[in-house]
Amino acid sequence: MQNVTLNNGVEMPILGFGVYQIPPEQTEEAVTAALAAGYRLLDTAAAYQNEEAVGRAIKNSGIPREELFVTTKLWVQDAPAEENTKRAFQTSLNKLGLDYLDLYLMHQPYGDVYGQWRAMQDLNREGLAKAIGVANFYPDRLLDLVLNNEITPAVDQIETHPFFQRTADQELMREHGVQIQSWGGFAEGKNDIFTHPVLSEIGKAHGKSVAQVVLRWLTQRGIVAIPKSIRPERMAQNIDIFDFELTDDQMAAVATLEAGNSLFFDHRDPAMVNWLSARRVDA
């Protein structure tokens, strides 16, 4: 497995396993299969409601803790944000059955972002969260956080796939030492991604699936990817991407698929801000 080095020296696998939208009753089995397939980066969130199942799979795997890279995410906190952030962190840690997290992300760019970030900086300084970062921060919000705080986010996890490639966002992150991570790498099947002629042709040239082509395209750009599946054969296929490389022409071909906008929702849309800000996760 290839690693990326975060801005504080922490090593993070470039390919991991995500559990978004996996029901809690299926999560333990899925994570167990993923660990058996060789994944060592696991990505969950308080909002996914499956942290406990992830924790059981970790405990029963027998894999030494230091060989795993575990990420979870903080949901929007009510005031006092600093106090509630630390309480939410401890709740997630307890559900996962861990003594520390490798990466703790602020899930949404809403609420008292600064209060939440101050608490996360404390958790990082105390060694409870080896690295801290954000998710769904557009460049303006990310840069504001970078310029006005002591600790720069190590990661920004954002929607990134062949139809929304985020090249300008990645460049800004690179300038400020923030690692880009993709969610929705397969665009959740939208735009017929798994049968797309451009991606299918590239896959045919390498004897690989479209999913493998997309993951190779992401990781070849230096983007951390966290594909999700509940099927062991797909998990094994998705991690088998380090024995081929896309050519410059093939990378350019994928670049032509850029549509320039989200296929899901815009975090700057007032209606979405209202909806996400009003949602609360039990902690």
For residue 156, list its beta bridge partners: 134, 180
Of these residues, 20, 39, 48, 138, which one is catalytic? 48
CA distance 94 to 45: 13
Residue 133: burial class (beta carbons within 10 Å; 0-12, 13-18, 19+): buried
Q: Is 20 a catalytic residue?
A: no
- For the chain, how big is the Rg over CA atoms in Å? 18
> Tokens for 170?
């990645």
Distance of CA 206 to the CA centre of its chain: 27
* Residue type, position 219, single letter: T
Q: Crossing angle, helix 113-125 and helix 139-147, to 10 degrees? A: 60
Sorted by sequence, the CB contacts under 8 Å of residue 90 that are 6+ apart come out as: none
Residues marked as catalytic: 48
